[in-house]
Structure 1
Amino acid sequence: MATPLAADHFWLDKSNYHNAERQYYELLGKEGNAANSQCTLVSEIAKAREHIKNSLQKMDGIATLTTAPASGEVIDRVSAIEKDNADLRNLIASLKSVCLETQSRVTALEKRVNAELSGTTAPIIAPAQSTTDNKADDDDDVDLFGSEDEEDADAARIREERLAAYAAKKFKKPQIIAKSSLILDVKPWDDETDLNVMETEIRKIATDGLLWGASKFVPVAFGIQKLSISCVVEDDKVSIDWLTEEIEKLNEYVQSVDVAAFNKI
């Protein structure tokens, strides 16, 4: 029994069998991984091709929409909008011309009224005429103030009467006369001078614009008195220097004249 087992070499080459088995399974594993990798790459390529195909189809749709002619309804709407825009532009231009026309007419009328009130006549500047047919039509349709040539005789007569009445009223308006109130101190030579006679001689000085007022005797010193007399003079007619000189001409009674008070009325 021992002889056959000793002659068998199976267990003696066990390591070789194990190595052969391991190499076999490793080879199977490498083939399986290669097959899986190949399957994955094929699927990715298929997906990429599908994506490219979808993209090309979408681009074709966009190109078709771009090159397709617009429908008749869209064209009609665009034409209507363009027409409305043109009408609005024409309307704005006509309104602008009317505003400029009105402003020029108002300016001309103001200048004429001011000239008539001041007593002088000024030429009326006619508004500039339009060079386009549209502006001419607008001027004919819209006439806010009317033409000056159409003014009738009654309106002109009423205006002239009002201007004449205004000028007469302005001429008859009382003018303010500048006046001054004075108090003069008139000193005599001595206590023997008769102040009553001196006052009488002073009041004899008369001229247009001079009005004598109240008077009194004021003691000075050593029994001597002075005459304090008031008067009102018109500044344009009577000079204060002239009045004092006229009083000082009464040298038989008057020694000096002083202005004690001066007030504008």
Structure 2
Amino acid sequence: MSGLQCLAQDKIWFDKSRYDEAERCFYEGINGVPSAPQETDANGVLQDVVKARQAIQQSLAGVKAALQTVKPHSRPQKPRERKSSQNVSRSEDQSELVSRVKSLELDNKNLHKVVDDLRAMVSKLESRLCMLEKSPSQASKAASVPQAAPAPKPSVVVKDEDDDIDLFGSDEEDEEAERIKAQRVQEYAAKKAKKPVLIAKSSIILDVKPWDDETDMAKLEECVRSVQMDGLLWGASKLVPVGYGIKKLQINCVVEDDKVGVDILEEEITKYEDYVQSVDVAAFNKI
């Protein structure tokens, strides 16, 4: 019975986690820390822990009450003339009380084990919550702060423990770096020279207008196509009616921008004054 007496008189602060949780919630509310969605699971676990602790307290209170009724105080010796039936009933009560105390001890051990498991689970949940709270804040900081390019490391030559550190490097290393740089520049220039040069071209549709309806349009087209230049390629053509029986020649050509211009084309075509009245650009597209 001495072990049960110690257990009954033992005072344990079973509600410490509740007070710690309340204090943490108070400071989080002051600092404006948002509550994570995982805290609902942690609160459910904490409620289970509180219920288990209440059950332990009730069991300990029952053990204490039972021990107070059966404390081994010095009792006066009873006269021998009491009946044997009373002795038998007292022994039965004591055996029943002992069995009840043993069952309470077993329940208490089981509850202690459950409380330990719940404490371990709560500690794991708290550590996980801390990690989840830290990770979004670190990610936002990393996104808001631009990553700076790593600074070039100075060339350090360590000869011996007692020697000085060469912070600027040697002349040989500078010559080697210059040689490597010049070699890379040459390789880049050669690689760039091998690439094909893109030639800028344009597609132009010209409207060539005659003097009147009696102009020979076949001869007019022949005169226009007789204009030949480097970078000029004539394409399809058609006659488009203008009005009063007059038709204009609409002809397509492709020119290289660096070699042939629109002004030169108009000047060369308008030289045929007998057939050509004017030249207009109907469309101009880059290729």
TM-score in terms of structure 2 length: 0.39
Name which one, 1 or 2, has greater alpha-carbon Rg: 1
Q: Which has the higher helix share?
A: 1
